Structure 1
Amino acid sequence: MMAAMIRVEPALVVALAPHGEHAVVARFLSADQGLVAAYVQGGRGRKLRPVLQIGNRVALDLVTKTAGQLAFATVHALGTNMAMLHGPAALALVDYLASLAAATLPEGEAQPRLFPLFDALFGGAAAGALAADVGPALVRLELALLAELGTGLDLASCAATGATSDLAYVSPKSRQAVSRGAGLPWAAKLLPLPGFLFGAGDADAAAISDGLALTGHFLGREVLQGSAAAKRSWTARERLITLLMR
């Protein structure tokens, strides 16, 4: 079988593991190829080490010789993530995003919906975006990820009445929205649903906190548990939220 080469551009560096003295096995996230693992010769060398940093944007020439074999990648720099210039919260955001992608996404499945969300948040970290911008975007990314993994929330109508307006809660059991009137008597057992997800209400600190608590409940229960990688991602998330919500 002849080797096949494809160009992947852009891609995000989300995980690195040393291989031998100079090489690495890297994992990249792109829209068309999804999560891709590849062997990069010289990835720990002086030339490629700055290119292969978590959060960087790159282009890849991927070569696969046989089906099921780890691809070989030639990596070209597109952009350096400068989160290190913007403090601990920006670095924590990069760490969480990368660990989240690497721990949860299946390899080789296109991610046309999720990739732009990851890309925008990596870009926000690189630019030193404020918590008021990062928080709502992170909630939307986590909601989209839950949907992509088959554990999405139904926020279209009230589970009790079918109403499509004044949705204020989410049932932790059914994952469905509940209207304010129907949910008020059981508010202590329901999860607050922030209005900014519907274009209603400001994305202030309290609303962002509610949004992250909402997505965190389902991520922690159904996604970020079990494997060491998933648990590491959950720890990275907790650290990020602590820094964001100071």
Structure 2
Amino acid sequence: MHLAAPAIILALRAHGEHGVVVRALTPNDGVRAGYVRGGRSRALRPVLQPANTILGEWRARTDEQLPALTVELVHSRATLHTEPLPAAALDWLATLTAAALPEAQPYPQLYLALAGILDAVEAAPLARGWAGAMARYELLVLAQLGFGLDLERCVVTGSDEDIAFVSPKSGGGVSRAAATGYEDRLLPLPNFLRAGGEPDWPDVFAALAITGRFLARDIMTDRRADVISARDRLIDRLKRAVA
């Protein structure tokens, strides 16, 4: 097995006295794990940070063996880990991607989307411009794993007009007319999730309520306490930042 590719670091785990097992997302070969010799050294610690982009080279004698991984830094986002809000964003995005995606399955759209939102966090650390994109990324993760929400038409009437809510059970859109009398049982749907554009903060948090519900129910079912806590920290910091 030999693979050379750019990759975004997602997670690290100490292995042995000096080494680290790194999981990283590649554009065309999905999430790949590899053992980095000396990964806890002073020279490599700044390189092996979640959200950093590397050029990785994985080598193994067999497909079953954990590959040895050598890394070259392409782009560092390590300084963002010193700022609470962007650090929480990077932590959640990397944690979600690492926890949700199976090994060695290609997700080129997710790679491009993750790279784009990481760039947006880096460009605007105070969340202006990227918080809404994070909700869209979560929607994309759901869709890529087979749990996509149908926000284009009403599950009750079949109409594609005035979709204003989401059913927390089916994940389908519900029109304003069909929701009459049941609004408190449904999730408000911010328009930017369907039509794009720059959302205001109430719309951002409404979108995150939708994606959070289905991530917890459909993807993080057996890992909710460990994984969703990273998301909870991020949303708490977002709310404090805009209060």
Cα distance in structure 2, aligned partners of 1:154 and 1:128: 31
2:177 corresponds to which residue? Answer: 181
Q: Is the 8 A contact 1:136 1:208 kept in 2?
A: yes
Alignment of 1:117-132 (within 5 A): 117-132=113-128
Residues in 2 aligned to 1:94 and 1:222: alpha-carbon distance in whole angstroms: 22
Corresponding residue of 1:243: 237
Cα distance, 1:202 vs structure 2: 5.2
TM-score (ref. length: structure 2): 0.93
Equivalence for 1:70: 66
TM-superposed CA distance for 1:130, in Å, is 3.6
200 and 181 in structure 1: CA distance in 2 versus 1, 3 angstrom threshold: farther
Asked if the contact 1:132/1:204 (under 8 Å) is kept, the reply is no
CA contact (8 A) 1:131 1:245 kept: no
CA contact (8 A) 1:167 1:179 kept: yes
Contact 1:195 1:202 in 2 (8 A): no
Per-residue CA deviations over 1:163-221 (Å, capped at 9, x if unaligned) read 11211011111111011111132111111111012227751111111100011111122
The aligned residue for residue 7 of structure 1 is 4
2:141 to 134, 137, 145: 145
- SS at structure 2 position matched to 1:181: coil
In the TM superposition, 1:14-25 aligns within 5 A as 14-25=10-21
**What do you get for the CA RMSD once the two structures are aligned?**
1.6
Which residue identity does 2:80 align to in structure 1? A
Q: Would the alpha carbon gap of residues 122 and 202 (structure 1) be closer, same or farther in structure 2, given more than 3 Å must change?
A: closer
Correspondent of 1:84 among 61, 81, 85: 81
**Residue by residue, what CA displacement relative to the aligned partner does 1:78-126 show, whole Å, maximum 9, x if unpaired?**
01103135x2110001111111111111000011111112112222333
- Give structure 2 stretches of 5+ with no counterpart: none
Give, in whole Å, the separation in 2 of the partners of 1:41 and 1:201.
Answer: 45
Moved over 6 A (4+): none
The structural deviation recorded for 1:30 is 1.5
Q: Name the count of aligned residue pairs.
A: 239
**What is the alpha-carbon distance in structure 2 between the residues aligned to residue 163 and residue 154 of structure 1?**
12
> TM-score, structure 1 length as denominator?
0.92
Look up the match of 2:228.
234
Q: Which residue of 1 aligns with 2:89?
A: 93
2:22 matches 1:59: no
Matched residue type, 2:3: I
Letter in 2 for 1:234: I
CA distance in 2 between partners of 1:5 and 1:226 (Å): 33
For 2:17 and 2:120, locate their aligned partners in 1 and report how far apart those are by CA, in whole Å.
34
Equivalent residue for 2:214? 218
Q: What are the superposed Cα offsets for residues 45-93 of structure 1, whole Å, 9 maximum, x if unpaired? A: 22222111111110111112112111111101001103135x2110001
**Matched residue of 1:155: which SS?**
strand
**Aligned 8 A contact 2:110 2:141 in 1:** yes
